[in-house]
Amino acid sequence: MSHFRKIASVTQKITLAIVGIFLMLFLLVHGGINLCMLRADGGEWFRAAAHFMGTNYLVKIFEVVLFAAFLVHILLAVILQAQNWMARPVRYKVPSKSHTAAGSKFMIYTGILVLIFLGLHLVNFYFVKLGWVEGKYMVETADVQYADPDCLQQNQEKLLQLFQNPDASALNPVKPVADNISKADLLQVFGSGFTHYEPDFYNMAKELFNNSAYLVIYLVLILALGIHLTHAFPSAFHTLGLNGPRADKPVKAAGALYAVVIVLMFWGVAIGMNILY
């Protein structure tokens, strides 16, 4: 029986490692897309990337895989942590110094903070996409044709305001995209049956990162993610066999570098959006 338990434990660790590497690659992609928000183009690059991610069918399939990976990662992490606690149910009465890395000691706790960050991120962005939470929206000029003609007729002035280019010196007085639209204005101007709109993640991010309380919480949770990654990165590769005297230091160094890059990418966007806007 113990033999089968050992095999099951090893299988769980290998699965956790593979899923973890997949999620770490996703973080790089996500961070790279977020960096587009710092380009001085009114969010054009970021919106193009967000539109592609939200409409491409392959990306939608990837999205399902991603959520499955998150659930598997959380489940296996909880199971393995519980097994570790059960293996040593009695705590030592005399505290002893340990050479275990801080990231390893507090892995479950930083994991909880990362889970809180994920929940916050879903509520503020992904749930808006699903229509579960109200946010800000945008409409392209080409999609106005799908709106309710009666609503457009009754709200011509507001429609023109939505698409009016704030730059008086611009060659085109009409913006190609009406952005930062509230749900109430969306329904009023375009009609309740209008579906050709998208969440305006760019303006939602600007608003959130200019909220001091949210910004501080976000920075703290991203730091927790970085601490989590400093152990998760080498742990994943060690589980898959990349260990030993020659590999340990380079893998740990790569993990530390990766964690720093991720933290700086997400911090850079948050702080940059706060300073620029």
pLDDT of residue 63: 82
SS3 140: strand
Domain hosting residue 39, numbered range:
2-135+202-276
* Residue whose entry in the numeric block shows the structure tokens 């054009």: 44
189 and 249 assigned to the same domain: no
195 and 88 assigned to the same domain: no
pLDDT tens digits, one per residue of 134-147: 999 999 999 999 99
Task: Identify the CATH number of the domain in which residue 62 sits.
Answer: 1.20.1300.10
**Does 3 have pLDDT greater than 50?**
no
Of the three residues 170, 199, 228, the one that is the final residue of a domain is 199
137 vs 162: CA distance, rounded Å: 11
93 and 115 assigned to the same domain: yes
81 and 94 assigned to the same domain: yes
124 and 155 assigned to the same domain: no
128 and 39 assigned to the same domain: yes
143 and 254 assigned to the same domain: no
SS3 174: strand
Mean pLDDT of all residues in 193-207:
95
Side-chain half-sphere exposure of 136, counting CA atoms within 13 A: 14
The number of folded domains in the chain is: 2
pLDDT tens digits, one per residue of 5-17: 555 566 777 888 8
141 and 168 assigned to the same domain: yes
pLDDT of residue 269: 97
Mean pLDDT of all residues in 57-67:
82
On whether the CB atoms of residues 228 and 107 are closer than 8 A, the answer is: yes
260 and 145 assigned to the same domain: no
- Across the chain, which distance is largest between two alpha carbons, in Å? 78
Amino acid at residue number 242: L
- DSSP per position, 50-87: HHHHHH-HHHHHHHHHHHHHHHHHHHHHHHHHHHHHHH
184 and 101 assigned to the same domain: no
| Least confident segment among 70-84, 88-102, 148-162, 239-253 | 88-102
